[in-house]
Amino acid sequence: MKSTVIRHEQLSPLQHQQLLEIELLSEQKTLVGDAYGAVHTLTARPACDIQGYVLLIEDVPVGFFLLKRRSLLPRWADGPTATLHALMIDRRYQGLGLGRTCVGMLPGLVRGFWPDIEQLMLAVDLGNLPARALYQSLGWQECGDADRTRTGFERRMVLSLG
Ligand SMILES: CC(C)(COP(=O)(O)OP(=O)(O)OC[C@H]1O[C@@H](n2cnc3c(N)ncnc32)[C@H](O)[C@@H]1OP(=O)(O)O)[C@@H](O)C(=O)NCCC(=O)NCCS
């Protein structure tokens, strides 16, 4: 199974459409929304402070994530930090190591694209055990709370690029 990650703006019109067809389980949608919402986030400005990436299998989008920096950072992050958002792998492709591929490549992506960034941060729902296990296994550390949710707070996680 050949996977590649490309920037959102490199997608063909067909791939744009396929990206919007990424499916999540309903309980996952409750936690992170859907591909429409994630892609819409890319209309945020300035465009230089947000990047969308798409994971392709045989040229078909099956995964997505966003990185933000500077003026587009959420309330719970600041300084030379990039934040990860809207990581999603199509439910039909979950459990195959693709989420691990995406998260594992983040340090290299960020160093290449935004070399001034010193750390990565994200917010994950306390109950999202698969995602928390994934981040922890790749060296991310929990560091306090992020935003309030219906059931409590999201955990904030950090990975130093030092
Ligand atoms: C979280 C998510 C991105 C993981 O992607 P994935 O491709 O299914 O994950 P991988 O196959 O790469 O698995 C990587 C690790 O994640 C954890 N994991 C994945 N699925 C899991 C599950 N159902 N239960 C527990 N841990 C799980 C494990 O630690 C796994 O490592 P292992 O295989 O060595 O045990 C995917 O489940 C998803 O899109 N979820 C919905 C959106 C979401 O929650 N995004 C994160 C927002 S912070």
Superfamily classification of domain 3-160 = Gcn5-related N-acetyltransferase (GNAT) (3.40.630.30)
pLDDT of residue 13: 98
What pLDDT score does 73 carry? 98
Rounded CA separation 84/106 (Å)? 9
Ligand 1 centroid to residue 132 C-alpha, Å: 8
pLDDT at 114: 97
162 CA distance to ligand 1 middle (Å): 25
d(CA 101, CA 5): 9
For the chain, list residues with pLDDT below 70: none
Q: What digits encode the pLDDT tens for the residues 93-122?
A: 999 999 999 999 999 999 999 999 999 999
Q: Whose CA is nearest to atom 31 of ligand 1?
A: 134
pLDDT, position 21: 98
- Mean pLDDT, the chain, whole residue set: 96
The pLDDT value recorded for residue 1 is: 83
- 25 alpha carbon – ligand 1 mean position (Å): 13
5, 64, 94, 127, 162 from 101: Cα distances, Å = 9, 12, 12, 22, 21
Return d(Cα 143, Cα 125) in angstroms, integer.
Answer: 13
**What per-residue confidence (pLDDT) applies to 22?**
98
pTM of the model: 0.96
Contact 117, 161 (CB under 8 A): yes
Q: What is the 133 CA–ligand 1 centroid distance (Å)?
A: 7
DSSP codes of every residue in 99-153: HHHHHHHHHHHHHHH-TT--EEEEEEETT-HHHHHHHHHTT-EEEEEEEEETTEE
Instruction: Please choose, from the candidates 99, 94, 96, the residue with its C-alpha nearest in 3D space to the C-alpha of residue 138.
Output: 99
Ligand 1 shell residues, CB under 6 Å: 24, 28, 31-32, 87-89, 94-100, 122, 124, 128-131, 133-134, 137
